[in-house]
Amino acid sequence: MAIYVILCIYPKFAISLGGLPQFLSFATLVLLYVSVVYAKNALQEQVAARDEERRPFVILSIEEGQGGGYLARLKNIGKLPASDVEITTTPQMQGRYSILLGRCLPILNEKVSFLPPNAELSFPIAAPEARLDINNTEEFKVEISYRCSVLKSSYSDPPYIIGWPNYDPKEWKELLKRLQGS
């Protein structure tokens, strides 16, 4: 770069060098282009990282509630609100409470319109003795999709597996035998 500046200041010296000034001009333009592309990519990565850090993160878990029952707990652990939260579980999660009410769990059949940061919704899904009854399954595949109106983005997080807390297959089989025997 310094040679190019010297050649621009002393054009007579540049003439004696032949095509070197043109080569240096071309090399300078190439370096400028590479620098601009690198800066643009770095800026895009920083913006993506900032948005990833700020976005909502919605998760579903099964936890033990008071009295030994089980709760489906929907949480937004992100820094921005989530809207139009839609949950799909395979197999479909429904339990005795929902059967008694004559419907499936509302959290799993309707979109949650708004879930602020650090907020959670809890719904009872089973009494202690009903955990064997619920779809006769030990775990559920969960898929959650939602929007963030602040970032104007939609998210569909990768599916993940959740199971019953404190699951012991031997204990469950004994409980099932006792329930069927009575």
Examine the pLDDT at 178 and tell me if it is beyond 60.
yes
* CATH fold for the domain made of 58-165: Immunoglobulin-like (2.60.40)
Predicted TM-score (pTM) of the model is: 0.61
Look-up of token digits 């569909």: 156
In percent, the amount of the chain with pLDDT more than 90 equals 24
Partners of 144 in beta bridges = 87
- 116 near 65, Cβ under 8 Å? no
Task: Please tell me the total number of residues recorded for the chain in this structure.
Answer: 182
Mean pLDDT of 122-138: 62
Closest CA to 7 of 25, 32, 30, 29: 25
Domain residues of the chain, as ranges? 2-51, 58-165
pLDDT greater at residue 94 or residue 50 = 50
pLDDT digits (tens, 9 = 90+) for 69-128: 778 888 999 999 999 999 888 877 655 444 444 445 555 667 889 999 999 888 777 655
- 134 near 103, Cβ under 8 Å? no
Examine the pLDDT at 33 and tell me if it is beyond 80.
yes
β-sheet with 70-76: strand ranges across: 58-64, 70-76, 120-126
